[in-house]
Amino acid sequence: MRKYNILFAALLLLGFTSCKKDFLDVKPTNAGDAETAIQTAADAKVMINGLMSKMASSAYYGRDFILYGDVKGGDLAVYSQGRGLDALYTFNHSKTSSSFSGFWNQIYHTILQANNIITSIDRLKAAGTTENFDNYKGQALTARALMYFDLVRLYGKPYLLDKSSYGVPNITSPIAATAQPLRATVEENYTQILKDLKEAEPLLPKAKSNGYLNYYANKAIQARVYLNMGNSTEALSAAEVIIKDKVYKSYTNAEWVNSWKAQFGTESIFELGIYPNESDLGNSSLSIYLRRKGHSSSQALGMFMASDYFLNRLKQDPTDVRWGVMSFDETSTSRMGATYKYSGSTTLDGDGKGSSTAVNIKVIRLSEIYLIAAEAAFPSNKDLAATYLNEIRKRSPGLAAATAATITLDMILDERSKELFTEGQRFFDMLRLNRPITFNDEFGGLTISSRPKTIDRTFQKVILPIPQDEINANPGLGAQQNAGY
């Protein structure tokens, strides 16, 4: 962990910048340090903007974390190896090669920023400040909870498999450059995540907050966390707060496809802004990684395309509106395996910024909340589960509505796959529900030696290795390395 504190100090010395010009209504300061960077609520807002920008990096929600969930979950496949990030598909990870250490680096780096915000605000409040920092502290706590939730799922076993196994180091305050924290358990990580979310909940506004975390984003993360813990009662309770308060509205079938061409739509509970000349990844963006090979750019190499398994789910209804973000891939003009959510449309419209790659990342949408509510209600109230599922199943007008007699957990899981495709959810869904994952290895005669064709959550490489650089900096982590690495 030592090097992240060094990076954090360097960042503070350089100062924080905003992640888009009109994202701020104040001019950011040009320099700061860990003790004095926050003096006013305006300063705290600058710091929150920096936090949101870091969460949109290529090593996190800007690309890799989204791909991780769908590639490893079997909904995306590769036509040929060597085009980019295919180790996600092959599970060819070691502690020194294809470890995807960027997750550890980037997320802990951003957690340390959140810790500094929280600590600075607490120090000012203890000193008697009259500034109102509630919103900013609430956002920092909520962001920290989300980041730990993502980290523990990347590096720790599923909660329902072995919550006493190693998770990730819990670091909740700025630490010395020489500190060498060790891994907490998965259960301890989840305890900290919920503590942060509960502390943040009353501090956040109950209003739509474009580009920021609010009360409803907090409740949505709570719903995700409780679902992963197998706590259906609390997951349903959190989801129903969002549904019943009606601050957000589901897209109609006529609106769904065009919603990807717009920023901060009526379903968008937490959306990260991606802006040209700032956080736009260009030829390294999700848009490029998921579109058809050669489509409008020689850098579009056809890295990932929909698997046959995903397409077979969508083919249950040829009139499903979600075909509207799919287009043909390089295999033929009839196989609709290229996907364009992160291009705005199949004609590369973007989302209103004049760029087909600077497209916002919709981290949490209302559709997911209905699906969480359906799954959480399923064990105790199948009528209610069917009602919530049908709010999303309506995207397939050719399919019969679910009823208490016909609804199944597999039906809900299939709907999650279709609705949340390329939103980074599938792998984690399969792990928490203990479902096997089968990979579409048939393209181009692929031979994968680093994993079998079908895996389940007991396969050792369903979690990542602690990177060797981290072990070098903190030798105690060596004895806590994940099995198989």
Q: What is the pLDDT of residue 28?
A: 30
Burial of 261 (0-12, 13-18, 19+ CB in 10 A): middle
- Report d(CA 405, CA 219) in Å as an integer: 30
DSSP string, 183-210: P-BHHHHHHHHHHHHHHHGGGS-SS--T
pLDDT at 1: 42
pLDDT of residue 27: 29
What does the pLDDT read at residue 453?
97
Report yes or no: 75 and 66 within 8 Å, Cβ to Cβ: no
CA atoms within 13 A on the CB side of 470: 25
Summarised one tens digit per residue, pLDDT across range 265-285 is: 999 999 999 999 889 999 999
For position 6, what pLDDT does the model report?
Answer: 35
Query: In residues, how long is the chain?
Result: 485
> Which residues are within 8 A (CB) of 253 and not within 5 positions of it... i.e. 6 or more apart?
321, 394, 395, 397
Closest CA to 309 of 423, 459, 447, 436: 436
Per 3-state DSSP, what percentage of the chain is helix, strand, and coil (rounded to 5)?
A: 50, 5, 45
Q: Is 272 helix (H, G, I), strand (E, B) or coil?
A: strand
pLDDT in tens, 138-161: 999 999 999 999 999 999 999 999
How far is Cα 181 from Cα 204, in angstroms, rounded to an integer?
30
Mean per-residue pLDDT for 166-189?
95
Beta carbons within 8 Å of 246's beta carbon, 6+ residues apart: none
The pLDDT of residue 11 is 41
Region(s) of the chain under CATH 1.25.40.390 = 1-78+86-204+451-485
- The confidence score (pLDDT) of residue 277 equals 87
Dihedral (Cα; 95, 96, 100, 102), 10-degree rounding: 110
Residues 434-484 have pLDDT tens digits of 999 999 999 877 889 999 999 999 999 999 999 999 999 999 999 999 999
Q: What is the mean pLDDT of the chain?
A: 93
CATH of domain 1-78+86-204+451-485: 1.25.40.390
Please check the confidence at residue 322 and state whether its pLDDT lies above 50.
yes
Express each pLDDT in 198-208 by its tens digit. 999 999 999 99
Q: Which residue has the higher pLDDT, 28 or 180?
A: 180
* Residue labelled with tokens 């956080």: 279
Write a three-state SS string for 70-100.
Answer: HHCCCCEECCCCCCCCCHHHHCCCCCCCCCC
pLDDT tens, residue by residue, 18-62: 333 332 222 233 334 556 789 999 999 999 999 999 999 999 999
Structural Rg of the chain based on CA atoms? 22
Q: Tell me: the pLDDT tens digits for 87-121?
A: 999 999 999 999 999 999 999 999 999 999 999 99
Q: Check residue 445 and give its pLDDT.
A: 77
Segment 237-255 mean pLDDT: 98
**The predicted structure's pLDDT at residue 443:** 83
pLDDT score for 5: 38
Contact by Cβ (8 Å): 371, 409: no
Helical spans, DSSP H, in 307-464 = 308-314, 366-377, 382-393, 409-419, 426-432
Kindly state the average pLDDT of the residues 416-445. 95
